[in-house]
Structure 1
Amino acid sequence: MATIGSASFQDGRVASKRLMMLVALLLVSCCLCYGFGDEDNVEVQGNSSSCMESERRALLAIKSDMYDPDDWFSSWTGKDCCGWRGVACNNITAHVTKLDLRYPYTYHQALETIGGSKVNPSLQELKHLEYLDLSMNNFSGAPVPKMISSLVHLEYLNLCYAMFDGLIPPQFGNLSNLHYLDLHGFLGDLYVDDLDWLSRIPSLKHLDMSLVDLSRASNWFHIVNSISTLEVLHLSTTGLPYAPSPLPPFNLTAIATLDLSQNSNIILTMLRWLSNATSLEYLYLSDCGSLFMEPLQVGLASLSNMKELDLSYNFLRGEILGILSNVSGGLKHLDLSWNYLSGDITQTLRSLRHLEYLTLLGNSNITGHIAYLLGNLTNLRHLGLWDNLISGEIPPTVGNFVQLEYLDLSYNGIAGEIPPSIGNLTGLVILDLSKNFFTGQIPSSLGHLTNLESLDLSWNNFVGCIPDTFGTLVHMTRLHLSRNQISEQIPESIGDLQNLQFLSLDNNALTGQIPKTIGRLHRLQKLDVSYNNLSGAKFPDWIQTQQRLQYLYLSRVGLKSSLPVWFLDFSKGLRELNLSSNSLKGQLPVAPQLMLDLSNNSFVGPIPSSFAQATYLYLLSLSRNRIDGSLPPFFCSMHSLKVLDLSNNHLLGEVPNCHSSFPTSLQSLHLNNNNLSGTIPRFLKYCIQLIILDFGENKLFGEIPTWIGRNLSSLKVLRLRSNLLHGTIPANIANLTFLQVLDLSSNNLIGSLPSSLGNFSAMIEKQNDTWSVLHVDNYYYSESILLTTKGEIADYTTVLSLVTFIDLPQHQFYS
């Protein structure tokens, strides 16, 4: 037995040795498999391993073609590429499995700042990649690289906003392991011929092809519906073609997010098909343009797990109750803005107590009492009700809505005072109560809203002063208090709003001087304190420190004396300048870029030649000054010019006749009450948008051209009074059917009146439009016309659009 036991022991030792040798051989084989001992040999430092040398060299080649403005690749040094920024490796094999080259800025920042990059061919050397992100880079319209399709281990691929162009390679169907695919395009530069290749990626969970042109992919619906694993699907703005009926049985049983917004071919059957998507939590159908209430109600009633719903920018008509009564009670985000919905929302919102985001902007006919509307929606963070018929008074309980960050109640019928409890909403970033019927004083408790960035209380009936506590709102960028009845002085504390960019205090009853502390607002872009009772005395010198100022409105603030020398050149950096109705004199400043109104002052001298450089001006008013000299042809190349008013000055000579370039956008031309001579300039025949043409009180001669009645069909005012015109009144003047004011008196016209003058239909029927106030971009320009009746001269402004008037040689008609 002992012999046998000894033999067994010896055999065990031999077996153990053999097993150890086998393990050693296996370890050596593994090392050889993973490159130890060859050119890809990995350096070992202590117990840490590095990446493959061939893959390290491939990464460096990729880096050489990438835009790197701020040394994002500064960590890409040394042998251990697995520790480089955006790179990750498999812990066992040391192969690079992740490459994240996403440009680390937001989309809009990238558009402005990012330089061009290229995809280096060495990318295909990283054959073990499972994760690749090239998003937010600028590949300058290069084709989508086909070589990506060779990276067959990819599970994550993100090319979002990478500025590729052209066909998405159908070879991407080789990437059968993908779970996440983001091909979000850039301005529709990418396209597909069909989506057959997508069916070869069976385990896809996240797909984003927004802004990719899918209009050729007639099979899109059947292909997408076949991928049962899809959880997130974004196909916004893709030009989806119609999905022919009958639709296949619903197969997207895992879908949680669906975005088909900005596609116009969402048909009724597809809405009914959606009613099967019981797992759906996020549904975006914004701007689809063909949605109908009834199928929507059917679909929404089945979606019991819905958390977000966006139906904005459609043509939905009917009672809002039809939607609100069918959505899930767990809804947190609801956007119904820019539709044609109507009805009372007061009661129906009570069941949506989980709402955090609600916007109904621009429906115009939604009603409700603001106090009951708020109800128990204390979870609200965002409430937008712009342009509806919401009424009532804001209740003191508004102070309970402490989660609110955005509150827009503008363009409604809300009245009463703002309760002081609104100061409890310390999380508010945006507060807009403009264009309502609020009264009383602005509560000083608004100074507690220290996170506020934008405050708009304009177009109300507030009285009293601007609270001194506003100086604590140091994050404020926009403050609009215009068109109220606010009085007293502008508080010095306004100068503490160091981030303020837009300040509008116009059309109030403010007194005193403009505080010098405003000069500390070095981020200021717009300042409007016009139409107040301010006593400015001299032009404020602190304006020259405002290097970012673009819009300056100091109309009717009592400014006197000449403009300072520094301002004559400073003004060219402005976009808009309104110094009208002061007592300013001296030389004209350099014209800003977009708008200049210096009317009703005492400026002298000729129009500077530098005005010819302001080719983008849309409004120029120098009326009621003492400007002399000839009229230079500076306006001929101003293709954006809509209003030109040089009336009531001392201009002389002929009106220049533009020969090759014309101000074709011109709507209002006032050259009356000067000393201009020559004939009516022929270039006006190309200004077919003209509404007002006033050459009265000059020395124009020649005949009234027939092209006025033929070309200027939009004219409402034609005033040629007190000139030296001769000949007969053209019969085709009667073609101006929109004409309300015609004054040809005090000329040398002869002959009988054309019988067709009775065709002026606008002088017979009551007109409802308010053309006498032109909305020119963001500026409201009030027209003014002098009419003489029974020897009395009257200046018509606000009621001009209600006036009808004819004054012809020896004939006068007025109403």
Structure 2
Amino acid sequence: MAKAAMDTLQLSCIQIAIALLLLTQAKSTTEDTSPLHPNDTSISCIADERSALLAFRAGLSDPANLLSSWKGNDCCRWKGVYCSNRTSNVVRLDLRGPYCKNGDQTQVLAGNISSSLLGLKYLRHLDLSCNRFDKIQIPEFIGSLHKLRYLDLSMSMFIGRIPPQLGNLSNLQYLDLETYSYTSVDSSFHSDTYSTDITWLSQLTSVEHLDMTGVNLSTIVHWLPVMNMLPTLKFLCLRACQLRGSPDSLQFSNLTSLETLDISGNDFQKRCTPNWFWDLTSLKHLDISNNGFYGPFPDVIGNMTSIVELVLSRNNLVGMIPSSMKNLCNLERLLSFGNNINGNITELFHRLPSCSWNKLQDLFLPISNLTGSLPTTMVKSFSNLSRLYLSHNKLTGHVPQWIGELTKLTTLALDSNKLDGVIDEGHLSRLDMLKELTLSDNSIAITVSPTWVPPFSLNWIGLRSCQLGPRFPTWLQWQTHVVSLDVSNTSINDMVPDWFWIAASSVVFLNIRNNQITGVLPSTMEFMRAEAMDFSSNQLGGSIPKLPINITYLDLSRNNLVGPLPLDFGAPRLRTLVLYDNIISGAIPSSLCKLESLRLLDLSRNNLNGSITDCLVNETGTNMTGLSITNLSLRDNNLSGGFPSLLQKCPRLIVLDLGHNQFSGALPAWIGEKLSSLSFLRLRSNMFHGHIPVELTMLVKLQYLDLAYNNISGSIPRFMLNCTCMMQTRFNTNGLQNAFSSRVLADENELVDYTENLTVLTKGQERLYTGEIIYMVNLDLSCNSLTGAIPAEISTLVALKSLNLSWNNFKGNIPENIGALIQVESLDLSHNELSGEIPSSLSALTSLSRLNLSYNNLGGKIPTGNQLQTLEDQASIYVGNPSLCGPPLSRRCPHPEPIPGENDGDASDDLVSFFLAMGSGYVMGLWVVFCTFLFKRRWRVLWYLLCDSLYDWVYVHVAVTWSSFRGKING
């Protein structure tokens, strides 16, 4: 008994000892990972580790001096350095940069990562994320920091291969290697890091969080079995990894702890079901968006009863969501942007799980082809809904009053539907938490009392094309924290109140275009926060004040602005300035040269006058080297002087329109060298003279050239052979499109849009072109004094849609191969001195809709066929050419004299044809008779009887006649 008692006591002591040991280890672990409190002066760092940190810092580039605190002996008090309270060892190094939050590329660390970090032998936490190590690979030596449990290298612009040595970090619980970037040309995604073998991941048996967003894994086929070897994994993100295959199933799944799975942005291109992830019923967050999945929404969704967030956006799923979704009693967020649900909105609401109505926070279903009207009544169980996003669907009817009961709503987006009716205070008065209200492009009238004070403070207001007017909506004065405000095309016919400029002073994107707003721009405009403003198509008057310092886009076109342009624009970041259709006068100031970021400038249809002065020096007193402008339109003004020498400093110029001014002098030879990027050049209706410079042969990108209505002489230089864009039926229009358009996007909605409105003289009339001008290939040299022959090489410009050489002094023949211009729609060669016959190849121009060859010296027969017979008013095409003959003219062409023997062959052919026809008819007649007798027995009998009777009659008459004849001879 005593022995048993002693054994029990001994066992208890052992248990107590083990418990104390475990407690000590836990305490040690806690102490090792806890950071030093800033006020704790009892801890000082270890000298070797301080040296390691200083060596590490020496390899870094720190332009913002973020590590300015790294001085003195106590490294445990340095920024981002955390030491153990027990051992003083550095256990955590947190140097996460601010780049991911504010995008400021100057407030980051760069340079090299020194292997001196290996001196931090007890380092458990390393965070170098959100910096810019954009020229180095992830160092292999990091794999030797064996005690690491946390490693974050995300968003730091590393390049190259992910080192497989990271697999040596067997204690790692958190690994984030996220990286991605976008090209500057087309905004397409590309990856800077890659891995061709991810088997090293299987060694991270303790990892719970794994994020490899943007890492190029396109060569990895069997990626899922590797992930399946990580049983502790709770978070897995493989977004935009260029994965190709998604297996149907896993035979044995070890991912039983997985709670978050994000495989969005890959290229699986397969049916949505079967797929392995539908079997992970413990998932709480699933994102399979933008993967090319197709087919109906799968019923197996209903098996994922733990799901909290389900993201299915940007696939090709079709049909109504399945009724099995009623099983998802934990659902809080449903995102299905861009799928084709193609069903009634009321039915969709009924299929949402009623057991989670009081949990649902986010319903994001834009561009889903939803139809019908919002239900007039809705249960109050949607009490926690914070985002209702149903924009870009086909919803009809009124906005129901129950919207106003969603008191936790922060986003209400119903824009781009077919909704109508009225929204009043009852819809809005209880939405205290509302931050975004977008109702644009509906037929909704917002009717509230002029004295109504809204309970919310909005950041985003989109009411484009709603009915707000005619008075200026006074409730906007209480919205003083708005980032984006769009009240364009809202029937406001009122003077802009002073309070509006105060409320709008904090707005970044401001759009009030296409109303009837009067008044003047505020003198305090320079203090506004705006980056993009569109005030076009109103009745604003007064002069243009100094602009906001941060503005990049400004459209004041189609107003009544007067006075000169400001001597100081005050907007160094301005990229787009649109001022056409105003009454602005005076000269173009030299301050324009200070806008070094300017890309698009449209001052057309104003009263500007005088010559354009060159930019001699900038603010610092140094010579100007070049402007960034790509589109310059000064047409329809009273500008004078020679071809502006300022343009020599615009090497990126793609579009230049100086038409309808009073410019004079000769075209300079430097156009071909200095403006080599020109695609669109219009100088019509000026007073330029002299020859067309041969140097224009250097403008290989030119696709639109208009020199009409000048006094240019000489012959056409044979430069057309070099105009590649006039010779190719397919060419890249991206450059020209970017030059003609300047869009500003706010969130996912286009806030302001400038597309050049351009009139082009073609097909005998002036036509308005907008976006399609980029496809217009035009050569117009009409109404000048050009001489000589039309070069035969002009037929190589097969991309031309309009060719106008009228009202010149061209002589000689029309080029024989003119029919090679297969895309030409308008061809005008009238009022010249052309002679010879009209080439028959003209009939090959199947796209031709207007032709004018009048008032020349053409002769001979007018060609016929194909498109030439369908042209309108055909007689006017050829008038003024007295030697032409044949249809459609009344003058007949004379018949040529026959040449002896020329038609003998034809007579023989006619005779042969006659005998062949006669013989065929004879045979056919006999064949008809034969077939009749073959099938009609009665007819055969009658025919033979007739033949017998006829034979007997003939025989008797012949015998009698012969006997009588013989008797006369003998007698």
Q: Under TM normalisation by the shorter chain, which class is it?
A: 0.7 to 0.9
Q: Does 1:529 align with 2:579?
A: yes
Secondary structure, aligned partner of 2:445: coil
In the TM superposition, residue 583 of structure 1 has moved relative to its aligned partner by 1.4
Secondary structure, aligned partner of 2:61: coil
**What amino acid does structure 1 have at the position aligned with 2:60?**
M
- Distance, in Å, in 2 between the alignment partners of 1:719 and 1:551 is 33
Residue in 2 that maps onto 1:557: 606
The verdict on how the C-alpha distance between 1:47 and 1:350 changes in structure 2, with shifts beyond 3 A counting, is: closer
Q: Does 1:500 align with 2:609?
A: no
The verdict on how the C-alpha distance between 1:681 and 1:334 changes in structure 2, with shifts beyond 3 A counting, is: farther
Q: Is the 8 A contact 1:433 1:456 kept in 2?
A: yes
Deviation digits for residues 569-590 of structure 1 (CA, Å, limit 9, x no counterpart): 9895544322211112112223
Residue in 2 that maps onto 1:774: none
In the TM superposition, residue 189 of structure 1 has moved relative to its aligned partner by 3.1
Q: Does 1:596 align with 2:636?
A: no
**What amino acid does structure 1 have at the position aligned with 2:48?**
S
The more displaced of 63-72 and 343-352 is 343-352
Q: Does 1:692 align with 2:802?
A: yes
Match of 1:394 among 446, 449, 458: 446
In the TM superposition, residue 625 of structure 1 has moved relative to its aligned partner by 0.5
Residue in 2 that maps onto 1:490: 542
Q: Is the 8 A contact 2:167 2:200 kept in 1?
A: yes
Residue in 1 that maps onto 2:128: 134
- Distance, in Å, in 1 between the alignment partners of 2:88 and 2:792 is 80
Residue in 1 that maps onto 2:82: 88
The verdict on how the C-alpha distance between 1:724 and 1:684 changes in structure 2, with shifts beyond 3 A counting, is: same
Question: Please, what is the CA RMSD of the aligned residues?
Answer: 4.4
Residue in 1 that maps onto 2:563: 513
Residue in 1 that maps onto 2:138: 144
Deviation digits for residues 74-116 of structure 1 (CA, Å, limit 9, x no counterpart): 3333333323332222222222222234444348957789796
Deviation digits for residues 497-546 of structure 1 (CA, Å, limit 9, x no counterpart): 454332212123x15435749745565443322113x2524445665665
Match of 1:579 among 628, 631, 634: 634
**What amino acid does structure 2 have at the position aligned with 1:752?**
K
Residue in 1 that maps onto 2:829: 720
Secondary structure, aligned partner of 2:151: strand
The verdict on how the C-alpha distance between 1:500 and 1:809 changes in structure 2, with shifts beyond 3 A counting, is: farther
- Distance, in Å, in 2 between the alignment partners of 1:282 and 1:689 is 51
Please show how residues 201-216 of structure 1 align to structure 2 within 5 Å: 201-216=204-219
- Distance, in Å, in 2 between the alignment partners of 1:617 and 1:810 is 44
**What amino acid does structure 1 have at the position aligned with 2:249?**
P
In the TM superposition, residue 621 of structure 1 has moved relative to its aligned partner by 1.7
Counting aligned pairs with the same residue, the percent is 29
Q: Is the 8 A contact 2:269 2:291 kept in 1?
A: no
The verdict on how the C-alpha distance between 1:757 and 1:702 changes in structure 2, with shifts beyond 3 A counting, is: farther
Please show how residues 571-720 of structure 1 align to structure 2 within 5 Å: 572=627, 574-589=629-644, 590-591=646-647, 592=650, 593-612=653-672, 613-638=674-699, 640-658=701-719, 662-664=724-726, 667-680=777-790, 688-705=798-815, 708-710=818-820, 712-720=821-829
> What TM-score, normalized to structure 2?
0.65
The verdict on how the C-alpha distance between 1:523 and 1:122 changes in structure 2, with shifts beyond 3 A counting, is: closer
Residue in 2 that maps onto 1:429: 483
The more displaced of 628-637 and 174-183 is 628-637
Residue in 2 that maps onto 1:19: none
Q: Does 1:53 align with 2:47?
A: yes
Residue in 1 that maps onto 2:195: 192
**What amino acid does structure 2 have at the position aligned with 1:595?**
V
Aligned residues: 722
- Distance, in Å, in 1 between the alignment partners of 2:338 and 2:792 is 45
Secondary structure, aligned partner of 2:147: coil
- Distance, in Å, in 2 between the alignment partners of 1:261 and 1:810 is 67
The verdict on how the C-alpha distance between 1:81 and 1:296 changes in structure 2, with shifts beyond 3 A counting, is: farther
The more displaced of 370-379 and 400-409 is 370-379
Please show how residues 18-97 of structure 1 align to structure 2 within 5 Å: 48-97=42-91
Q: Is the 8 A contact 2:547 2:569 kept in 1?
A: no
Residue in 1 that maps onto 2:903: none
Secondary structure, aligned partner of 1:400: coil
In the TM superposition, residue 639 of structure 1 has moved relative to its aligned partner by 5.1
Secondary structure, aligned partner of 1:77: coil
Please show how residues 398-477 of structure 1 align to structure 2 within 5 Å: 400=454, 402-410=456-464, 417=470, 419-434=473-488, 436=489, 438-441=491-494, 444=497, 446-447=500-501, 448-458=503-513, 460-465=514-519, 471=525, 474-477=528-531
Q: Is the 8 A contact 1:282 1:308 kept in 2?
A: no
Q: Does 1:260 align with 2:288?
A: no
- Distance, in Å, in 2 between the alignment partners of 1:294 and 1:152 is 51
Residue in 1 that maps onto 2:21: none
In the TM superposition, residue 427 of structure 1 has moved relative to its aligned partner by 2.3
- Distance, in Å, in 2 between the alignment partners of 1:415 and 1:111 is 42
Q: Is the 8 A contact 1:559 1:583 kept in 2?
A: yes
- Distance, in Å, in 2 between the alignment partners of 1:65 and 1:156 is 23
Secondary structure, aligned partner of 2:446: coil
Q: Is the 8 A contact 1:268 1:295 kept in 2?
A: no
Residue in 2 that maps onto 1:291: 316
Secondary structure, aligned partner of 2:112: coil
Match of 2:117 among 119, 123, 148: 123
Q: Is the 8 A contact 1:382 1:406 kept in 2?
A: no
- Distance, in Å, in 1 between the alignment partners of 2:698 and 2:724 is 6
The more displaced of 195-204 and 60-69 is 195-204
In the TM superposition, residue 198 of structure 1 has moved relative to its aligned partner by 2.8
Deviation digits for residues 628-672 of structure 1 (CA, Å, limit 9, x no counterpart): 122124554445544322211112223333355634557233222
**What amino acid does structure 2 have at the position aligned with 1:487?**
Q
The more displaced of 445-454 and 658-667 is 658-667
Secondary structure, aligned partner of 1:172: helix
- Distance, in Å, in 2 between the alignment partners of 1:163 and 1:497 is 33
The verdict on how the C-alpha distance between 1:522 and 1:752 changes in structure 2, with shifts beyond 3 A counting, is: same
- Distance, in Å, in 2 between the alignment partners of 1:680 and 1:562 is 35
The verdict on how the C-alpha distance between 1:174 and 1:138 changes in structure 2, with shifts beyond 3 A counting, is: same
Q: Is the 8 A contact 1:261 1:285 kept in 2?
A: yes
Match of 2:220 among 217, 221, 229: 217
In the TM superposition, residue 68 of structure 1 has moved relative to its aligned partner by 2.2
Please show how residues 267-282 of structure 1 align to structure 2 within 5 Å: 267-269=271-273, 273-274=277-278, 280=284
The verdict on how the C-alpha distance between 1:292 and 1:525 changes in structure 2, with shifts beyond 3 A counting, is: closer
- Distance, in Å, in 2 between the alignment partners of 1:536 and 1:607 is 26
Q: Is the 8 A contact 1:671 1:694 kept in 2?
A: yes
Q: Is the 8 A contact 1:453 1:477 kept in 2?
A: yes
Deviation digits for residues 148-184 of structure 1 (CA, Å, limit 9, x no counterpart): 2222222221222333334323343332322321112
